[in-house]
Amino acid sequence: MENYVIFTDSSSNITPDLAHEAGIEVIPLTCVTKEGEMPCYDDKTDFNGHSFYDELRETGPVKTSMVNMGQFRQAFEPIVKAGQDILFFAMSSGISGTCAAAREAAAELMKEYPGRVIRVVDTLAASFGEGIFALKAAVMRKARASLDAVAKWAEDNKRRMCQYFTVDDLMFLHKGGRISSLTARIGSLASIKPLLTGDSEGKIVSCGKVIGRKKSLQALADLFDQHAAASDEGEIVAIAHGDCEADAEYLAGLLKKKRSVKDVLIRCYEPGTGSHVGPGAMALFFFSPVAVK
């Protein structure tokens, strides 16, 4: 196996089972609940999504903190000190300073440990839009692809990543600084369900709206039909949800009717991103054959 370690941050939605199976290291963001500060990832504890989202339903959005430069140093330094290189997949620079902090730490450490390489890939995505790159990188590493080859593949293909989602309450995104107050107020009227995506700068933008929950799920499936390849061809299709697994399974069923999709990776939104999208959020991630951003 090539001598490098794959890292990502917890907003990638990589759960401990996926991380252990693929050999991926996850650096946690932090959120603050009524119980106090908690890491958004713990490889020894399963995330209780239902309990977390119930609290959000009662109290509203909670604060989150990005991974700072010192935390990246703490995670990265033992690796480079041991003589290994690092490939890090970061949450979109369009919505967080995490990527910039990782690059700052990488630059310092590469000066202190000459000959070591730390590559930081700005995925322009979040949740599985970010995590899929780490999962694909692990498969490529197992096939003995070099760090440079994997990093180049990710840079060449990150604009093929489709990430579409809908939320029940836009005020979560607004209070987290992800969208404007005007957009949030308009989207919260009546039963309007916004359709959102990441743009070429990795920022969250509107791409449509429908009325009603079922229609919003159908709209996500229609976007998949419009942009996905004719067959899955070994690509990863993933769904993240805000404590609404039945709806996620329903959406997966719609996808399988649209394309020859064998499996759909379904996980509850981890607490960092979940704090911003809120209960009832539904997100779909897949590769398009061509750039969409």
* Of residues 87 and 230, more confidently modeled: 87
Q: Is 12 helix (H, G, I), strand (E, B) or coil?
A: helix
In 3-state terms, the chain is what percent helix, strand and coil (to 5)? 45, 25, 35
Q: pLDDT at position 37, please?
A: 86
Locate the DSSP E strands across 79-212.
85-90, 118-122, 161-166, 192-198, 204-211
**What is the location of CATH 3.30.1180.10 in the chain?**
160-287
- In this prediction, what percent of the chain has a pLDDT beyond 70? 91
Q: Measured between alpha carbons, how far is residue 87 from residues 95, 111, 142, 267 in Å?
A: 21, 17, 14, 24
Take residue 283 and report the two structure tokens written for it: 């997100």
**What is the location of CATH 3.40.50.10170 in the chain?**
4-158
Q: pLDDT at position 233, please?
A: 67
Determine the CATH number of domain 160-287. Answer: 3.30.1180.10
What average pLDDT does the segment 268-289 reach? 93
d(CA 142, CA 257): 32
d(CA 17, CA 250): 23
Take residue 110 and report the two structure tokens written for it: 């590469």
Whether 176 has a pLDDT exceeding 70, the answer reads: no
- Sorted by sequence, the CB contacts under 8 Å of residue 259 that are 6+ apart come out as 224, 225, 228, 229, 230, 231, 232
d(CA 42, CA 143): 28
| 136 Ramachandran zone, left/alpha/beta (phi>0; psi -120 to 50) | alpha
d(CA 221, CA 146): 35
* Of residues 259 and 26, more confidently modeled: 26
- What predicted TM-score, i.e. pTM, was given to this entire model? 0.92
Whether 126 has a pLDDT exceeding 90, the answer reads: yes
Determine the CATH number of domain 4-158. Answer: 3.40.50.10170
